[in-house]
């Protein structure tokens, strides 16, 4: 905006907006331009309506003032109506104000139905004209802000989805999972995903969302295991300012934020009984009441839940509400652990290798045939997450173009190499083994071994002393 001074010495700001005026009368164009130029940064005029498309592309106006009649003696408004439709066709968000000397209610209503945002008559009063254009400029800027926010949301969602973008697997167990996702995604049925840590429960939840009728809406992920019991209601249902000591402003809860889209409640098996009751009430009524509020707020969500906890055992132990379990598992998806889908391990390993080879700029990296066999022989207690991290670590530390079995610090990959396998998963034993392996790999080079292990030289020296190495 630029600062102008009026005759009486007061200052006002010109709005940073572009006004396009299309009218066949030269004196109308001149008077409008002289007046509006005092209030807006850019005012563009044109007598020939056939140039409207070019002018719109060239100037991207916030507001278009469009005459209703361009032929002498014509008072029907048909030509202006045609160009109005053309403007809206070129840009559905175009803000067009129609101008006519022969306005009446019927013409005004017809203009509004065809996409105009307002209607003014010749001769106009400058104050009313300016107020009308200012309102439409504000509308235009609000539309732009909404579009930017929506675009940003799509980019953020796409960015967030990158690591969840692809489900890899051709085993019988995974084919059944994929078939279930295809069947349930297009419905609004609540889904419960069961499986060990690292099996890809969030991946499945996002796949359901992407294939659903709500795909263009938000996906809200809530880790219930990370929310203290005391903040459960505030986090999920929201609160009113002043409802408790730290409530300094109104807050929207996750349920309201997810309305229209998908709400993913991860680690639902960790909820205490009191929170389970509150959650059940919300799911039954499909409305939330913010902490400190009286009136309920309707919600419209697709619910997907996940847990690694054996919920049916918890129901038998009276630690999880049976009615809540029935409410959240209209469709249940059981994810197999990686050890039960051994044929998928080479596919997953290759998938992660491509990803990390690109990330760390090592495009020529590949697996030795023996490595894939060894990876399939390991039982992967951490499932896909462990495999992913193992491949990333191997890519980072590998010096050559081929990942061998020795690039993976996994317990049972060293048994055939004449080394002693660890008797257990005792943390001290694992740490001692890792240090031994790294020191051997780097021929006793303390600096390189410390870098590989993520330790300082001093920390590695302390551990060497601790384990007598």
* Predicted confidence (pLDDT) at residue 130 exceeds the cutoff of 60: yes
Q: What is the tally of structural domains in the chain?
A: 3
Residues 377 and 315 in one domain: no
Residues 372 and 408 in one domain: yes
Residue whose pair of structure tokens reads 């993913």 in the numeric block: 264
Whether 153 is covered by a domain: the verdict is no
Whether 212 is covered by a domain: the verdict is yes
372, 376, 377, 379 alpha-carbon torsion, rounded to 10°: 140
Residues 346 and 274 in one domain: no
- Find the mean pLDDT for residues 331-349: 94
Q: 433-468: per-residue pLDDT in tens?
A: 788 878 877 777 888 888 788 778 778 877 887 777
Q: Which residues of 216-243 are buried (b: 16+ CB within 10 A; e: fewer)?
A: ebbbbbbebeebeeeebbbbbbbbbeeb
* Nearest partner of 428 among 462, 382, 466, judged by Cα: 466
**H helix intervals, 217-310:** 232-237, 254-257, 273-285
Residues 7 and 41 in one domain: yes
Whether 196 is covered by a domain: the verdict is yes
Whether 308 is covered by a domain: the verdict is yes
pLDDT recorded at residue 153: 61
CATH number of the domain to which 443 belongs: 1.10.8.60
CATH number of the domain to which 320 belongs: 3.40.50.300
Give the domain-ending residue among 319, 336, 353.
336
Give the domain-ending residue among 307, 336, 365.
336
Residues 80 and 193 in one domain: no
Residues 9 and 125 in one domain: yes
Q: 402-424: per-residue pLDDT in tens?
A: 998 888 877 544 444 444 444 45
- Cis upstream peptide for 123 (omega within 30°): yes
Q: 211-270: per-residue pLDDT in tens?
A: 999 998 889 999 998 888 888 988 899 888 777 777 777 788 899 989 999 999 999 999
Residues 250 and 123 in one domain: no
Q: 154-184: per-residue pLDDT in tens?
A: 545 554 444 445 678 889 999 999 999 999 9
pLDDT over 70 for what percent of the chain? Answer: 88
Q: 315-325: per-residue pLDDT in tens?
A: 999 999 999 99
Residues 347 and 332 in one domain: no
Whether 158 is covered by a domain: the verdict is no
Whether 151 is covered by a domain: the verdict is no
pLDDT recorded at residue 121: 83
* Predicted confidence (pLDDT) at residue 378 exceeds the cutoff of 80: yes
Whether 39 is covered by a domain: the verdict is yes
* Nearest partner of 306 among 199, 147, 403, 401, judged by Cα: 199
pLDDT recorded at residue 413: 46
Q: How far apart are CA 453 and CA 459, in angstroms?
A: 10
Residues 47 and 85 in one domain: yes
CATH number of the domain to which 51 belongs: 3.40.50.2300
Residues 25 and 139 in one domain: yes
User: Mean pLDDT of all residues in the chain?
Assistant: 85
Residues 405 and 354 in one domain: yes
Q: What is the pTM of this model?
A: 0.59
Classify 360 as helix, strand or coil: coil
pLDDT band per the 50, 70, 90 thresholds, residue 2: low
Give the domain-ending residue among 283, 305, 336.
336
421 lies in which domain range? 339-466
pLDDT recorded at residue 104: 62
pLDDT recorded at residue 166: 67
* Predicted confidence (pLDDT) at residue 280 exceeds the cutoff of 70: yes
Residue whose pair of structure tokens reads 């939330």 in the numeric block: 288
Count of C-beta atoms within a 10 Å radius of residue 376: 16
Whether 100 is covered by a domain: the verdict is yes
* Predicted confidence (pLDDT) at residue 337 exceeds the cutoff of 90: yes
Q: How far apart are CA 177 and CA 171, in angstroms?
A: 10
pLDDT recorded at residue 422: 47
Residues 310 and 228 in one domain: yes
């Amino acid at each position: 905006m630029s600062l102008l001074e009026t005759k009486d010495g007061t200052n006002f700001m010109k709005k940073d907006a572009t006004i396009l005026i299309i009218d066949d009368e030269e004196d109308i164009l001149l008077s409008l331009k002289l007046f509006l130029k005092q209030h807006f940064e850019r005012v563009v005029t044109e007598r020939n309506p056939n140039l409207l498309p070019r002018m719109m592309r060239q100037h991207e106006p916030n507001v278009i003032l469009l005459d209703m009649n361009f032929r002498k003696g014509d008072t029907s408004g048909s030509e202006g109506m045609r160009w109005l439709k053309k403007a809206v066709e070129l840009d559905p968000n175009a803000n067009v104000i129609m101008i006519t000397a022969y306005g009446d209610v019927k013409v005004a209503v017809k203009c509004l139905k065809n996409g105009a945002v307002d209607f003014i008559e010749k001769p106009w009063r400058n104050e009313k004209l300016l107020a009308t254009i200012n309102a439409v400029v504000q509308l235009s800027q609000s539309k732009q802000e909404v579009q930017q926010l929506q675009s940003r949301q799509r980019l953020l969602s796409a960015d967030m989805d990158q690591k969840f973008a692809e489900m890899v697997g051709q085993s019988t167990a995974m084919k059944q999972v994929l078939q279930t996702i295809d069947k349930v995604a297009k419905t609004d049925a609540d889904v419960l995903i069961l499986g060990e840590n690292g099996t890809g429960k969030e991946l499945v939840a996002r796949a359901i969302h992407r294939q659903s009728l709500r795909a263009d809406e938000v996906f809200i992920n809530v880790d219930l295991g990370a929310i203290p019991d005391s903040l459960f209601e505030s986090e999920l249902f929201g609160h009113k300012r002043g409802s408790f000591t730290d409530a300094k402003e109104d807050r929207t809860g996750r349920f309201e934020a997810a309305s229209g889209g998908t709400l993913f409640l991860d680690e639902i098996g960790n909820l205490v009984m009191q929170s389970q009751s509150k959650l059940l009430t919300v799911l039954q009524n499909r409305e939330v009441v913010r902490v400190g509020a009286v009136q309920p707020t309707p919600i419209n969500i697709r619910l997907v839940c996940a847990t690694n906890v054996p919920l049916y055992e918890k129901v038998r132990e009276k630690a999880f509400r049976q009615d809540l379990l029935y409410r959240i598992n209209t469709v249940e998806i059981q994810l197999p652990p990686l050890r039960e889908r051994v044929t998928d391990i080479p596919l997953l390993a290759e998938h992660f290798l491509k990803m990390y080879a690109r990330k760390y700029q090592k495009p020529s990296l590949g697996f030795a045939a023996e490595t894939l066999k060894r990876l399939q022989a390991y039982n992967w207690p951490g499932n896909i997450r462990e495999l992913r991290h193992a491949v990333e670590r191997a890519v980072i530390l590998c010096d050559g173009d081929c990942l061998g079995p020795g690039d993976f610090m996994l317990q049972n990959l060293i048994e055939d190499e004449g080394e002693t396998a660890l008797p257990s998963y005792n943390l001290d034993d694992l740490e001692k083994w890792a240090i031994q392996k790294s020191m051997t790999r780097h021929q006793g080079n303390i600096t390189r071994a410390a870098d590989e292990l993520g330790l300082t030289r001093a920390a590695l020296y302390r551990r060497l002393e601790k384990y007598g190495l």
